[in-house]
């Protein structure tokens, strides 16, 4: 897969798009980024509506392992495709310790289970509970959830020594929650976040100073 064959259509302020961006960066998959403005007078361009009639980012267009065109318009599906090698499968794998994303077939059964547990927690718990807190809902409920998540952290990454799809899925939302409310009282999560922001693959995706979207 070369850079002309994998295209990430995104907006850098969107956390769901950031999930896919982190996965591509950390897997060392060459890609071309194409950014679209989701709001404003100009509207979304026609070519983008043709790629994704839902009008949401991220969208990844690539060739799968068999050379077939692959268009994915859901951040979780994109993570799955990166994790199973459907995207970037021809990339030469180097040392997978530390900050390079461990693919699914490089994980043991326990690690895979932890990754699934984390991704489920982010999608089904953190996103709705966090959104409620941001919109003026129950902050204590978010604090309670963060305590539960703190106990789930293996360290230094969420599922252990290696960066996984769990970290890709969690970072955009926990980074925003930390910026808004702070998570310093949860040591394991705070240590993990500090580790992530020093990871070059993740650092490149962190929104610049200024405003960014929550959801």
- Are 33 and 209 a contacting pair, CB within 8 Å? no
Please write the tens of the pLDDT for every residue from 51-88. Answer: 999 999 999 999 876 677 899 999 999 999 999 988 87
Q: Would you put residue 50 in left (φ > 0), alpha (ψ -120 to 50) or beta?
A: alpha
pLDDT at 76: 98
pLDDT cut 90: percent of the chain above it: 75
Residue 183 reports pLDDT greater than 90: yes
Quickly list H helices, the chain.
Answer: 15-26, 46-51, 75-83, 109-121, 127-134, 139-152, 165-180, 187-197, 200-203
pLDDT at 88: 75
Highest mean pLDDT among 4-13, 62-71, 116-125 belongs to 116-125
Instruction: Please indicate whether residue 174 or residue 99 has the higher confidence score (pLDDT).
Output: 174
pLDDT at 213: 75
Whether the full predicted model's pTM is greater than 0.75, yes or no, is: yes
Q: How confident is the model at residue 132 (pLDDT cuts 50, 70, 90)?
A: very high
């Amino acid at each position: 897969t070369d850079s002309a064959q994998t295209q990430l259509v995104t907006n850098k302020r969107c956390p769901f798009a950031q999930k896919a961006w982190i996965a591509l960066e950390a897997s060392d998959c060459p890609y071309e980024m194409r950014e679209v403005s989701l709001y404003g007078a100009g509207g979304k361009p026609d070519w983008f509506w043709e790629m994704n009639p839902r009008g949401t980012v991220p969208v990844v267009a690539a060739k799968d392992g068999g050379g077939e065109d692959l268009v994915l318009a859901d951040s979780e599906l994109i993570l799955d495709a990166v994790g199973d090698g459907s995207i970037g499968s021809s990339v030469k794998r180097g040392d997978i310790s530390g900050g390079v994303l461990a693919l699914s077939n490089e994980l043991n059964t326990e690690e895979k289970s932890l990754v699934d547990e984390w991704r489920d927690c982010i999608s089904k718990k953190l996103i709705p509970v966090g959104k409620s807190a941001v919109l003026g809902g129950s902050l204590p409920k978010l604090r309670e959830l963060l305590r539960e998540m703190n106990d789930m952290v293996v360290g230094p990454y969420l599922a252990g020594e290696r960066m996984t799809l769990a970290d890709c899925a969690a970072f955009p939302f926990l980074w925003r929650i930390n910026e808004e409310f702070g998570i310093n009282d949860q040591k394991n999560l705070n240590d993990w976040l500090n580790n992530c922001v020093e990871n070059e693959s993740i650092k490149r995706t962190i929104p610049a100073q200024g405003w960014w979207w929550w959801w």
